[in-house]
Amino acid sequence: MHHGLFRVDSLRAVGGYSGAYRVGYDMLVVALIKMWGSVGYVDSPLYHRVKTEDSLTRSPKTGLGSRFRQDIERRLNTIYKAAYARWLARQNGLMSASEFSAQLIELSSRERTLQQSRAIEELSAAATS
């Protein structure tokens, strides 16, 4: 599974989505959310998927197997491995939930630009007011 509906607090706890990646980040977010808390499955359709020939997944430049996607997957895998090491520490009682969340946020935001970070902060503030 690499798509879903997430609780806002869970998404925030793992650093939210990052605009630093054009492809692949959706799968990392799901993995981080699974590390953060529980995931439930609903046996009914919650969205309609449309496949198009010009999608990022099918494009020769960004599609599956492309050099671009392989480079991104390597970078995301580095984040995943670091997050997994922290998850193991959390599972073994070496880290609190808040420390774990802070580290996931730091890991997921490493390649965000200052502009992206400010936009996320503004949206978060607007959503909670």
Q: What is the pLDDT of residues 56-103, one digit of tens each?
A: 888 888 888 999 889 889 989 999 999 999 999 999 999 999 999 999
Which two three-digit tokens encode residue 70?
């392989």
d(CA 119, CA 124): 9
Which class for 47: exposed (0-12), middle (13-18), buried (19 or more C-beta within 10 A)?
exposed
Domain range annotation of the chain: 8-40+56-128
Q: Which of these, 43, 63, 42, lies nearest to 52 by C-alpha position?
A: 63
- Determine which of 47-51, 88-92, 119-123 has the lowest per-residue pLDDT on average: 119-123
For CA atoms 20, 107, 36, 82, give the dihedral sign: positive
Give the mean pLDDT of 6-15.
88
